[in-house]
Structure 1
Amino acid sequence: MQRGRGGRRASGRPRIRRLALAGALTSAMLLAGCSAPATGTSGFGAAGVAPGGPWTIDSGAGAPQPGARQEIVTIGDSIMSGNGLDAEQAWPDVLARANSWQVTNLAEDGAGFVQPGDDGHTFAEQVTQAIADAPDDPDAPALIVVSASSNDLGRDPGKVEHAATKAFTALHRAFPGTALVGLGAIWGDQEPPPELAEINDAVHSAAEAEGASWVDVGEPLAGRFDLMQFDDTHPTAAGQRVLATAVDERLRALLGSAGSADSAG
């Protein structure tokens, strides 16, 4: 997929350059005889290995064929697309590699359910693309993750909920055997604006109305400016691995099948 070049929109979030602060912190630690902060946390390291080993998605449609690679599709914004990084460093790609899955990451920079992205598309176009790209198989993909987005900040939450409901409805109808999961919007290292909770609530309500599951990983990057790029909006590669770990833990608890480590291969 073509990725846009822009970042988060309408967030009202200040863009703070932290080079001086980071340099001061590093110098202070060196003087104290300490090392600088680690660029990741426990979980997915640079090798992208999942704690607990690979697992199998239980979508309710039965176990995958032996040796088959389960497929996931992700719909979202620039946090999901890995803005500023190579495509394979985005958290959906990290998550898929660690669990021996295939991934189709349709996320577009700047996009939301209502807010058009850098390529002029909302999440509706990503949903249409997911349906058009899928094989004629009601059990594939095994999992679709649809993320709420801070790009919809400033938009009417009622319109966001309406658009999200249409998205979940279309996906459920096209993929009745697929695990469909809504994901809370992911912020950065600073405190998110209160309005973001309204966006999450709107998408959560839409997901529940269509029988989709809901996952909110909280704020895995809170207080970790060392995991943010210099635009102070998008995670570094290490930050993306932290996000992959957080999403993996929640999805594993929600959808992991018994004996998944043995069956994932």
Structure 2
Amino acid sequence: MISRHRASSVSLTVLAASAVALLSGCAADPVAPATAPTPTFAAPMLAASAPSAPPVSSSATERVVTLGDSLMSGFGLSPRDAWPLLLAERAHISLTNLACPGMGFVVQGDCGTPYAGLVPAIAALQPDVLIVQSSSNDFWEDPDEIRYSTADTVDSLHAAAPGARIVALSTIWNDDPQVPDDTAVTSEALRDAVQAIGGTYIDLRQPLAGHPEWMQDDDVHPTARGQRAIEQTVMSALQEAGVLP
């Protein structure tokens, strides 16, 4: 997520092959059920959380991968406070979080790649459910480029993990009730792309709006309380859509 004045991003070059090897490696062994998920890092700013373990009695647990930006990575907080890990703990699912600050469908984030650069990692992980979120990092990019890059990336993700149910989430803004028009551009681009491949689109609205106390001092990234608000919104939406029980 970006501020109202576009933030510059420090780009770190990450080779795709290295990402695949390291990300798939950290996803191999779930942590013990009694232990909280402990994130590991494939490269600076490229985080893949160790899958949270299912209950011992579970005979089959869906493997979930999340792909997004700094809101999804829990920027400024302990990685355990990121909403995907909170979701995994509450829903008892195996989850790997492939979120990188500054990243979008068009914009390269701190990992040196847009979302498309993590397609090989998705192919290595072969999730049952892939949750992808559109990002405000793409604000002010050319709308046609946003639509093209989004559609092309979603097609690549679908081809890389054909057995995965792809679930798309709308762009989340900060606490300001005045949501930029760019939010509709990025959200609708992902909606159209995921519906074209038979996936599921979910409009989360704006779970942070009207709650400045849920924002960090930069007014860009949510606090731990804000992350919990996002998790609760996503959890309810996934249950309503039949993605989670």
Indicate the TM-score class for this superposition, using the shorter chain for normalisation.
0.7 to 0.9
- Structure 1 contact 160–203 (Cα < 8 Å) conserved: no
Structure 2: gaps spanning 5 or more residues: 8-56
Give the whole-Å Cα distance in 2 for the aligned partners of 1:10 and 1:242: 20
Partner residue of 1:55?
Answer: none
Give the whole-Å Cα distance in 1 for the aligned partners of 2:143 and 2:200: 20
Matched, 1:151 2:137: yes
Matched, 1:194 2:181: yes
Give the whole-Å Cα distance in 1 for the aligned partners of 2:119 and 2:228: 25
Q: Per-residue deviation at 1:9?
A: 3.9
Where in structure 1 do 4 or more consecutive aligned residues deviate above 6 Å?
Answer: none
Partner residue of 1:92?
Answer: 84
- Structure 2 contact 138–186 (Cα < 8 Å) conserved: yes
Which structure carries more strand by proportion?
Answer: 2
Partner residue of 1:111?
Answer: 103
Higher relative contact order (CA 8 A, sep 6+): 1
Letter in 1 for 2:121: Q
Q: Per-residue deviation at 1:11?
A: 4.3
Q: Deviations over 1:164-187 (max 9, x none)?
A: 112221222232322111110111
| 1:155–1:97 Cα change, 3 Å | same
Q: Deviations over 1:80-138 (max 9, x none)?
A: 1110011111011100110111111111100110011012111111222211x32xxxx
Q: Per-residue deviation at 1:221?
A: 0.9
Q: Deviations over 1:14-33 (max 9, x none)?
A: 9xxxxxxxxxxxxxxxxxxx
* TM-score, length basis structure 1: 0.69
Q: Deviations over 1:34-66 (max 9, x none)?
A: xxxxxxxxxxxxxxxxxxxxxxxxxxxxxxx94
* TM-score, length basis structure 2: 0.74
- Structure 1 contact 11–150 (Cα < 8 Å) conserved: no
Partner residue of 1:12?
Answer: 5
Identity of aligned residues (%): 37
Matched, 1:250 2:242: no
Letter in 2 for 1:78: S
Letter in 2 for 1:92: P
Letter in 2 for 1:105: N
| 1:122–1:13 Cα change, 3 Å | closer
